[in-house]
Each structure stands twice: as structure tokens, then as C-alpha cells.
Amino acid sequence: MRSSGRAARDAAGQAAEHAEEAAGHADEAAAHAEEAAGHADAAARHADEVAEHAEEATEHAEEAADHAEEAEHHLGEPGRPLHHSPFYIGFFGGLGAITAVWLGQQLMTIGSVVIMVVVSLFLAAGLNPVVEWFMRRGMRRSYAVLAVISIVILAVTLFLSAIVPVITEQVATLTKNAPDYLDTLQKNRQIRTWNNDYQIVDKVKDYVATGNFGQKAFGGVLGFGMAVLSALLNTFVIVVLTLYFLASLPTTKSALYRLAPASRRERVSRLGDQVIRNVGGYVSGAFIVAMCAGISSLVFLFAVGLGEYAVALAFVVALLDVIPMIGATLGAIIVTAIGFATDPKIGLFCLIFYIAYQQIENYVIYPRVMKKTVDIPGALTVIAALVGASLLGVVGALLAIPTAASILMLTKEVFIRRQDER
């Protein structure tokens, strides 16, 4: 019995040793598994690092390619500004002032060319709304520009072919009857006094009797012919420049807008487009107002008894009405003077009609037509017209109002808004 109990204890001890040995092997296996997991994590982190390095290398390669392309197009990066002595700055400052004076003198020399360019830009901006109207109907810009120019040239040709013979005949009749009108004017005591002092009426009679207005005004037959040729050449140049400006207007605007910083380019583009729309709207509105003045004058002159000169005088009124501030008044003075020379009653009717019509034009027609384009105070309109006329004559007077409206709009949108945000 004792021997069997001892054997059982020995067997139990061996089983316990085997169990401990198995537990040790299990712990070693677990340690090996943890070590393998650690190695796997390290390998994964290493793989992530390698991938990150690969991405950084790719980004560096792309940046290097971008820099290389930018250097190719922009001819490298600008260097740091140089610091110079006051004498250096003064010398080159004086040289810059001399250069500016020289450039100003050259600009005055080519003043006529600059005026033609400005007029062409003005006309291109005025015709651009019509081009955009055709483009909204599915027409390409090049075809739209060609269509607009063709329509304008055809309309002007038809208008001149229809009206020039009538105007020529009526001007000839008016010239023939002018001495009688001048004799009638001399019945006025004040006019007779002026004529005795300055021979105004006698000189006008002499000019009318000889009929050489153009030759005397331009210095003989050769001077008159050169003046006509110069006017035709300037007209042709303006038409060609207007055509080019109309065709390339989007490209020109885009190139100019790119001169602004990228952070402000969108706002500069919107302001520039609004300026162009204002100019285009003013040109269209001025044409509509002038047509209203011409048509109403034509109807009135036929009704009042001046039908013999109605077409010529209505054309003069429409043409002068384009000039801001004084154009309509000049047209009214011309027609009223001819009316008084024909019959005092007709002259009185002309005076009443044009006083009434100018009130309607100033307070009804003009505000309704121009309210979306050149809504500026009346005092500013007068100042702008005077300044423009002093600088560039009739062309300056025509350009003054849309220019003033654009400056006023830019002042409100840029300066005043910036002041309000402070």
C-alpha cells in the first residue's frame, strides 16, 4: 500500500512538472507571438514612412516642375530691391521727370491719333451691347461684329443717300433766301446798330453771295479738297479701329484685368465691365434722345410752315442734340432765327415749341433713357461737359458725361465703401 501511494505521488509530481513545462512553453510561444506582432507593427510603420517619403518626393518633383515651367514663362524670380544713395535716387528721379516731359510732348504731337483711338473705343463700347444681343441669339462674336458693322454702314449709306439730296436742295434754297432774311433782320434797331459798327450783316451777305464758304474757310480750292480728304481718311480710320476694338474687346478686357492682383481681379473685372456697360448705354441713349429731337422737330417744322427746310433743319437739330448741355440750345437758336426771318409768328411758335420741348427732354425723355447708365447730379454734368470741351473740344464734351459717371461709380464702389468699413 505504501509503495502504491508513493508511486501515485511520483506520478502526480511528474504530471505537475509536465504541466509547468507546458505552461512555460506556452509563455514562450506568447512572447514569440508578441515579438512577431511588434516586428509586424514596426514593418507597417516603416512602410508608412516609406510611402510618406515617396509622396514628399513626388510633391517635390511636381514643385520643381512647376518652378521650372514658371521660370521658363516668367524669366525667373525677381531679386531683392537694391538700396542706393540719395544722389543716385535724385539723378534717376530727375531723368524720369525729363522722360515724362518728353513723353508728354510726344503725346501732344500725336494728339489727333489719340483722339481717333479714344473715339473708336467709345464707339466700340457703344456698339458692344448690340453685338452681345446677337451673341445671346447663338451667333459667334466674329459674325456678330461683322453683322453690326455691316448694318451700321448700310444704315448710314441709305440715310445719307436719302437725305443728302434733300438737304442739298434745302440748303441751296436757304442760301438763296438768306439775303432777304438778313434784310429782314436789319429792320431791328439793335441789329442795325451792330451792323453799322461791325458790318456783321454785310460780311454775311458777302459770304452768301460769293458761295465760296468752304474755300474761304479752308484756304482755297486745294485747302478745301485736303480738308475733305482728311475728314474721309479720319472716318475710315475710326471705322477700322472700331471694328478691331469690337472684335477683340473680350481679349483686351481680359489682358487688362490680369494686370490687377489675383485677389482683386474678380472685383476689378466687375467694375470694368460696369464701366463699359455705362459707356455703351450712354451712346445708345444719346442716339435715342437725338432721334427724338430730330423727329419731333421734323413734324413741328412741317406743321408750322417751314416744310421747305424741314429735313435739313431737323437733321441739324438731331446732330447738335448729341452735344451735351449746349447742343439742343444751339439747334433751337438756329431754327428759331430762321423762323423769325421767315415770319415773326413762325419764329414765335418755334421759340415756344423749343422751350417746351427742352423741358420735356430734360425732365422726361433724358432721365428715362439715361437713368440706368449716367445717373449723375446736374452740377457734375455741367462741370464735366465744360472740362471735356476745354480739353478735347466737341469730342471731349461727348466723352465727358460717361467718363464722369464712371468716375463717380468707381468712387462710390471703392473709396466710399472703404471709408464706411473703417
Quick: pLDDT tens for 303-325.
888 877 787 788 888 888 887 77
Same domain flag for 311 and 251: no
Q: Please determine, for residue 209, whether its predicted confidence score (pLDDT) is greater than 70.
A: no
Neighbours of 281 (CB within 10 A): 21
Same domain flag for 239 and 94: yes
Task: Kindly write down the DSSP assignment for every residue of 182-229, as one continuous string.
Answer: HHHHTTSHHHHHHHHHH-HHHHHHHHHHH--HHHHHHTHHHHHHHHHH
Same domain flag for 178 and 103: yes
Q: 278 or 211: whose pLDDT is higher?
A: 278
**Who contacts 165 (Cβ-Cβ below 8 Å, separation ≥6)?**
none
Comparing CA positions, the residue from 291, 286, 318 lying closest to residue 123 is 286
Lowest mean pLDDT among 157-161, 291-295, 346-350: 157-161
Model pLDDT, residue 122: 83
| Most confidently modeled range among 21-25, 75-79, 361-365, 374-378 | 361-365
pLDDT tens, position by position, 145-161: 888 888 888 877 776 67
Same domain flag for 121 and 255: yes
Average pLDDT, integer, range 244-262: 85
Asked, for residue 314, whether it belongs to a domain, the answer is: yes
Q: 412 or 229: whose pLDDT is higher?
A: 412
Asked, for residue 139, whether it belongs to a domain, the answer is: yes
Q: Of 209, 236, 259, which marks where a domain is finished?
A: 259
Task: Kindly write down the DSSP assignment for every residue of 238-268, as one continuous string.
Answer: HHHHHHHHHHTHHHHHHHHHTTS-TTTHHHH
Q: Assess contact for 283 and 123: CB atoms under 8 A.
A: yes
Average pLDDT, integer, range 69-91: 66
Query: Cα(278)–Cα(406) distance, rounded to whole angstroms?
Result: 7
Asked, for residue 383, whether it belongs to a domain, the answer is: yes
Query: Cα(184)–Cα(230) distance, rounded to whole angstroms?
Result: 38
The whole model's pTM is what?
Answer: 0.59
Same domain flag for 123 and 149: yes
Q: State how many domains the chain has.
A: 2
Asked, for residue 414, whether it belongs to a domain, the answer is: yes
Q: Of 232, 259, 286, which marks where a domain is finished?
A: 259
Same domain flag for 189 and 328: no
Model pLDDT, residue 86: 75
pLDDT tens, position by position, 87-114: 777 888 888 889 989 888 888 888 788 8
The secondary structure of residue 411, as a DSSP letter, is I
Average pLDDT over the chain reads: 77
Query: Cα(181)–Cα(23) distance, rounded to whole angstroms?
Result: 139
Same domain flag for 247 and 143: yes
Same domain flag for 173 and 303: no
Q: Please determine, for residue 178, whether its predicted confidence score (pLDDT) is greater than 60.
A: yes
Model pLDDT, residue 217: 47
Please, what's the b/e burial string for 2-33 (b: 16 or more CB within 10 A of its CB; e: otherwise)?
A: eeeeeeeeeeeeeeeeeeeeeeeeeeeeeeee
Q: Please determine, for residue 274, whether its predicted confidence score (pLDDT) is greater than 80.
A: yes
pLDDT bin (cut points 50, 70, 90) of residue 34 is confident
Percent of the chain with pLDDT strictly greater than 70:
70
- Tell me the C-alpha to C-alpha distance, in Å, between residue 398 and each of 34, 199, 284, 317, 387: 91, 35, 13, 16, 11
The single-letter code of the amino acid at 25 is: H
Domain around 159: 90-259
pLDDT bin (cut points 50, 70, 90) of residue 6 is low
Percent of the chain with pLDDT strictly greater than 90:
2
Q: 18 or 289: whose pLDDT is higher?
A: 289
Average pLDDT, integer, range 14-41: 70
Q: 242 or 174: whose pLDDT is higher?
A: 242
- Tell me the C-alpha to C-alpha distance, in Å, between residue 35 and each of 38, 39, 41, 45: 5, 6, 10, 15
Average pLDDT, integer, range 371-385: 73
Model pLDDT, residue 329: 85
Same domain flag for 338 and 199: no
Model pLDDT, residue 170: 62
Same domain flag for 229 and 287: no
Query: How many residues in the chain?
Result: 422
Same domain flag for 294 and 404: yes
Q: Please determine, for residue 140, whether its predicted confidence score (pLDDT) is greater than 60.
A: yes
Model pLDDT, residue 353: 92
Cell of 24: 512555460
Q: Of 236, 259, 282, which marks where a domain is finished?
A: 259
Q: 223 or 203: whose pLDDT is higher?
A: 203
Query: Cα(181)–Cα(204) distance, rounded to whole angstroms?
Result: 11
Asked, for residue 54, whether it belongs to a domain, the answer is: no
Asked, for residue 72, whether it belongs to a domain, the answer is: no
Query: Cα(239)–Cα(235) distance, rounded to whole angstroms?
Result: 6
Asked, for residue 190, whether it belongs to a domain, the answer is: yes
Same domain flag for 109 and 246: yes
Q: 296 or 33: whose pLDDT is higher?
A: 296
Asked, for residue 131, whether it belongs to a domain, the answer is: yes
